[in-house]
Amino acid sequence: MRRLLHQPLDPKCRKIRLALAEKKLAFEMETERPWDRREELLVLNPAGMLPVLVEPDGTTVAGDRVIQEYLDEIYQDPDGGMVLLPGGPVDRAEARRIADWFDDKFADEVTRNLVDEKIVKRFLPRDLGGGPPDTEIVRIGMHNVSYHLDYVSFLVERRNWLAGDSLTIADLAAAAHFSAVDYLGNVPWTDFPQAKEWYARIKSRPSFRPLLADHVPGMPAAQHYANLDF
């Protein structure tokens, strides 16, 4: 069976969970705490980072961007499944650009300030930076999220999905990041009706259901988190 080593609220792991489900590839998940630096994780991925995909034949593919490229290359003709990067080189560049927007810029300006600060730090040992959230860092993250909702609104005013006519890895990456922040209840959806309509479309896909069932011990999701009519 295909295995995915992951952290439930890590957006880069969530993106790959969505990608595997959209490609209709069955997989088992194993929760990994990368800060434990468990021997098996370091053997599979010397960088010690998640996600890591282990194929049924033992082939190991490490890193979210590496996995997304690999999945489209190896499962080129998915049986009714999604192509993550459809179209020609310019379309594909646009889908990658927007996915990277979320995996680099949103990650740095929002996810780190909110998800890492409010959740990851609860589980980290003190000598690795664990502790209570820094309210100033959280405040900056809350401020930054609106800028990204604005950008999503700008894109979906012009396009059906973020990178063009089709659903692509760009939508999966963006939804993965927003969903982790939404678990905390920190996405002001009502102020951004177009972005909300886009998120409602992706949230109602079957691939999203397992993400909506995620639960962080001692930290329940915001009330509307799993609600399709939010």
Residues engaged in binding its own copies (CB under 8 A): 45-47, 49, 59, 61-63, 65-67, 69-70, 73-74, 89-90, 92-93, 96-97, 100-101, 104-105, 151
Whole-angstrom Cα distance, residue 28 to residue 21?
11
Lookup: tokens for 12: 């880069």
Whole-angstrom Cα distance, residue 90 to residue 97?
10
Our CB check for its own copies shows the closer of 92 and 203 to be 92
Contact 117, 142 (CB under 8 A): no
Our CB check for its own copies shows the closer of 27 and 230 to be 27
Our CB check for its own copies shows the closer of 52 and 82 to be 52
Our CB check for its own copies shows the closer of 11 and 63 to be 63
Whole-angstrom Cα distance, residue 146 to residue 178?
11
Q: To 10 degrees, what angle do helices 11-22 and 64-74 make? A: 10
Contact 12, 116 (CB under 8 A): no
Minimum CB distance to its own copies, residue 202 (Å): 21
Minimum CB distance to its own copies, residue 101 (Å): 6
> What's the burial of 150, exposed, middle or buried (CB within 10 Å: 0-12/13-18/19+)?
middle
Minimum CB distance to its own copies, residue 85 (Å): 9
Contact 151, 85 (CB under 8 A): no
H helices then E strands: how many in the chain? Answer: 9, 4
Our CB check for its own copies shows the closer of 57 and 229 to be 57
Minimum CB distance to its own copies, residue 162 (Å): 13
Residue 173 burial (CB count, 10 A): 32
Minimum CB distance to its own copies, residue 141 (Å): 18
Our CB check for its own copies shows the closer of 97 and 215 to be 97
Minimum CB distance to its own copies, residue 108 (Å): 10
